[in-house]
Amino acid sequence: MKKIMFAVIVAFILTLACQFTSYATDGNTLLESCTAAIQKMDGKDKVSGVKVGYCYGYVQGLIDMNAFYKVSGAPPLFCSPQTISNGEGARIIYNYLQNHRERLGEYAGILAVDAYVEAFPCSDLKLSLR
């Protein structure tokens, strides 16, 4: 009985992992996720926690990646202030995607970086991943 229960739990976890790894591959899905994050911040209760978390994960991942670049001696991708919340980051991505709807079919990671580059350009570094 324990083996069957273990197998069911492993199958469930693998199913969830497959869903999450294929979740935000393009701008449409990232926009949907960051829309949910903004709705949650604005007080709407019935939003998907998974979508909110996915958007916040993108935001935190970008901030962490940029910090790693700076520490390693590589030029940063963008020059944001030291303190930016996940909520502020979600709004930056959301606004960028709303203003560049023609790019929603592109890879979400590139769009997210471009959103930050546009919001926080470095004066001596001109970068776009287009």
Which CATH number fits the domain 24-119, given the four candidates 2.30.30, 1.10.760, 1.10.890, 2.60.120? 1.10.890
Residue pair 100/49 in contact by the 8 Å Cβ criterion: no
In this prediction, residue 8 carries a pLDDT of 41
Alpha-carbon span 120 to 105, nearest angstrom: 23
Domain spans, the chain: 24-119
Alpha-carbon span 115 to 3, nearest angstrom: 48
Alpha-carbon span 31 to 93, nearest angstrom: 8
Angle of helix 49-72 relative to helix 108-119, nearest 10 degrees, comes to: 60
Q: Kindly report, residue by residue over 18-71, the tens digit of the pLDDT.
A: 454 444 479 999 999 999 999 988 888 788 888 888 999 989 988 888 888 888
Is pLDDT above 80 for 10?
A: no
Alpha-carbon span 77 to 126, nearest angstrom: 9
Alpha-carbon span 6 to 124, nearest angstrom: 55
Alpha-carbon span 85 to 28, nearest angstrom: 23
Helix (H, G, I), strand (E, B) or coil at 90: helix
Name the pLDDT band for 17 (thresholds 50, 70, 90). very low
Name the pLDDT band for 15 (thresholds 50, 70, 90). low
Instruction: Note the pTM of the prediction, 2 decimals.
Output: 0.74
